[in-house]
Structure 1
Amino acid sequence: MNAAKHPVDIHVGKRVRQRRWMLGVTQQQLAERVGIKFQQIQKYETGMNRISASRLWDIAGVLDVPVSFFFEGLDGPEAAAPDVEGDILADREALQLVRSYYAIPENQRRQLFELARVLSAA
């Protein structure tokens, strides 16, 4: 039986993937730290498989975020529909840019931010 993916499972999976990418952690590394196979992480990240509460707790611990992090952006049933256009961090290039941005020393990062603001307003 192949059940349809639930929008909340898709959202939570995307948030797992986003956080993992932000930290530069591979699916294999996350799986090892949680004690499962990396294929299971793949299924979680696509929303193919639901993440149990205890597994989500473990993943949150490894990724150093509260469990609530995975539900941010969901305000209620009407917000459970996937927002592909608004999900900028679903783009691999955007995630790499954010990760690189936070690797820059803070004073230089602020200067880069100001430059980006000025250029985007032009």
Structure 2
Amino acid sequence: MSVKEILNPRKADDLDHFVAQRVRRQRDAVDMTQDQLAQALGISFQQLQKYERGVNRISASRLFQISCVLGVGPEYFYEGVDTSQFVQSPKSERSEPPQSSILSLIAQNPDATDLVIAFVEIKSPKQRQKAIDLIRLLAD
């Protein structure tokens, strides 16, 4: 697991993309434009585009709203999904949760530990942000 995956666990995955395709398919089936659906949901056209492309995840409450507007039950968006692809392995085979993975990465690198300790000692939020920006710049 990469550092980016650990730090951004909410990134859209295959199931999110599947749901996004189903949203678009149903919107097309009821002959509704993206703009019309976005307005009915009270969101921007751009946000709906991100949902339909699977760039942004759709929350459970938003998916429920979408199902109401499009005239289907929430289960519609999961019909045909291969559940074996999305069911997690038994606990003993599962990888570490993200926080444990981050701590593991820090523990494996003494420099990272020093960096975290020094960062926590920075009192100014502005200075902490500058430190983050500098480290991201150096990482690129």
TM-score band by shorter chain is 0.5 to 0.7
**Structure 1 residues 37-48: aligned runs within 5 Å:** 37-48=44-55
Structure 1 unmatched runs, 5+: 81-122
- How many residue pairs get aligned? The number is 80
Q: Over residues 45-88 of structure 1, what are the superposed CA-to-partner deviations in whole Å (9 max), with x where a residue is unaligned?
A: 111000011100100000000000001111314269xxxxxxxx
Runs of 4+ displaced beyond 6 Å: none
Q: Does 1:57 align with 2:56?
A: no
- Give the AA of the match of 2:60: A
Q: What RMSD over aligned residues (CA atoms) do the two structures have, in Å?
A: 2.0
Query: Match for 2:77 among 66, 70, 82?
Result: 70
**2:36 maps to 1:29:** yes
Q: Which has the higher contact order (CA 8 A, sep 6+)?
A: 1
Q: Compared with structure 1, are the counterparts of its residues 33 and 69 closer, same or farther at alpha carbon in structure 2 (3 Å cutoff)?
A: same
In 2, the alpha carbon distance for the partners of 1:66 and 1:52 equals 15
Aligned to 1:36, what secondary structure does the other structure show? coil
Cα displacement string for residues 80-117 of structure 1 (whole angstroms, at most 9, x for unaligned residues): 9xxxxxxxxxxxxxxxxxxxxxxxxxxxxxxxxxxxxx
- Tell me the TM-score normalized by structure 2: 0.52
Matched residue type, 2:59: S
**Structural mapping, 1:82-93, within 5 Å:** none
Q: Distance in 2 between matches of 1:5 and 1:52?
A: 11
Task: Point out the structure with max Rg over C-alpha.
Answer: 2
- Which runs of 5 or more structure 2 residues have no equivalent in the other structure? 88-140
2:43 partner amino acid: I
User: TM-score, normalised on structure 1?
Assistant: 0.60
Partners of 1:36 and 1:69 lie apart in 2 by 22
SS in 2 for 1:24: coil
